[in-house]
């Protein structure tokens, strides 16, 4: 199974949680490469971050879901806590450079506001940041997981840098074949840019009292040359529910572009209850 590498990423932690360490993991250099590996049949599936409870959706993941014929077979929600790590003991006030992944910086704005004059460098993954710090001669630190600090032999300077103490990221298992059994269904549909189009699309769910737990738009131009938007929707319930099956059949006849990504088991993190927002 493919996931973002190198070793020590949060994706790897999520993969061990999702598959219980029972499958071989193949590291990729970027999230788009995970999708490519799945589509080419080089791996049986892949695990990618979809959204974070603090910063929302991972844009590159949504874009790839829109562009490629892959499906969702499951999800896992990983509690995420960020550490500050360096190659040697440093005081926070000494730092000249911080290296991490863009989403991580967004999740640690409170901490970063204390260091307005420290330069930041962006890399693809937190484990890549840790690897760079290992060979860095300047007064620099990376932000990432405790496990990545252990893997790369770094010293942890500070912990729990995230703004939200309930910070968590949702990862999805993407595959070439759709899943049909589960209590959560995800669809993508596109509409023409005309008045009332979205209302008429969503009405098929409202009329049947079907709850949508997520609705997010992306420009339709990401998929074709059409105007308007594509919509990514999570539905509470599976395809075995006649109401949902009927609603999707009706929607597919109204939407110029429509694709069901499958029904799969939802994952609720410990300490949360259905109805609470869980957004990588």
Nearest Cα neighbor of 35 from 69, 75, 10, 78 is 69
Tell me what the mean pLDDT of segment 228-252 comes to.
95
Q: What is the pLDDT of residue 149?
A: 95
Q: What is the pLDDT of residue 171?
A: 97
Nearest 5 degrees, angle CA 113-CA 117-CA 118? 85
Q: How are beta strands 212-219 and 97-100 bridged, if at all?
A: unpaired
Q: What is the pLDDT of residues 58-78, one digit of tens each?
A: 989 998 998 899 999 999 999
Q: Virtual CA dihedral for 174, 104, 212, 47, nearest 10 degrees?
A: 10
CA–CA distance, 85 with 159 (Å, rounded to integer)? 9
Tell me what the mean pLDDT of segment 6-21 comes to.
92
CA–CA distance, 222 with 186 (Å, rounded to integer)? 19
CA–CA distance, 261 with 71 (Å, rounded to integer)? 5
Please state, for a pLDDT cut of 90, what percent of the chain lies above it: 80
Q: What is the pLDDT of residue 274?
A: 36
How many CB atoms are closer than 10 A to CB 245?
A: 15
Report how far apart, in Å, the C-alpha atoms of 98 and of each of 11, 135, 141 are.
Answer: 21, 14, 5
Q: What is the pLDDT of residues 175-207, one digit of tens each?
A: 999 998 899 999 999 988 888 999 999 999 999
- What is the helix (H) or strand (E) element at residue 39, kind and residue range? helix 31-39
| Global pTM value | 0.89
- The answer to whether residue 277 scores a pLDDT higher than 50 is no
Q: How are beta strands 119-122 and 97-100 bridged, if at all?
A: parallel
Q: What is the pLDDT of residues 103-152, one digit of tens each?
A: 999 999 999 999 999 999 999 999 999 999 988 878 999 999 999 999 99
């Amino acid at each position: 199974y493919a996931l973002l590498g190198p070793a020590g990423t949060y994706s790897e932690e999520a993969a061990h949680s999702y598959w219980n360490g029972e499958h071989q993991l193949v590291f990729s250099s970027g999230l788009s490469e995970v999708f490519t590996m799945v589509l080419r049949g080089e791996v049986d599936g892949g695990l990618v971050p979809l959204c974070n409870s603090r910063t929302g959706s991972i844009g590159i993941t949504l874009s790839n879901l829109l562009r490629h014929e892959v499906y969702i077979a499951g999800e896992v929600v990983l509690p995420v806590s960020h550490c500050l790590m360096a190659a040697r003991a440093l005081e926070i006030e000494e730092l000249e450079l911080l290296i991490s992944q863009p989403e991580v910086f967004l999740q640690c704005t409170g901490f970063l506001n204390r260091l307005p004059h420290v330069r930041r460098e962006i890399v693809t993954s937190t484990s890549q940041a840790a690897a760079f710090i290992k060979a860095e001669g300047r007064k620099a630190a990376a932000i990432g997981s405790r496990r990545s600090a252990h893997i790369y032999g770094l010293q942890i300077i500070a912990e729990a840098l995230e703004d939200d103490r309930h910070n968590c990221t949702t990862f999805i298992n993407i595959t070439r074949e759709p899943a049909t059994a589960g209590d959560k269904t995800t669809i993508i549909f596109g509409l023409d840019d005309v008045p009332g189009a979205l209302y008429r699309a969503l009405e098929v769910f409202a009329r049947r009292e079907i709850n949508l737990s997520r609705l997010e738009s992306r420009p339709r131009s990401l998929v074709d040359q059409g105007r308007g938007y594509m919509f990514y929707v999570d539905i509470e319930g599976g395809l075995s529910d006649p109401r949902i099956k009927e609603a999707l059949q009706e929607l597919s006849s109204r939407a110029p572009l429509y694709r069901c990504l499958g029904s799969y088991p939802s994952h609720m993190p410990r300490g949360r209850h259905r109805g609470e927002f869980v957004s990588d």
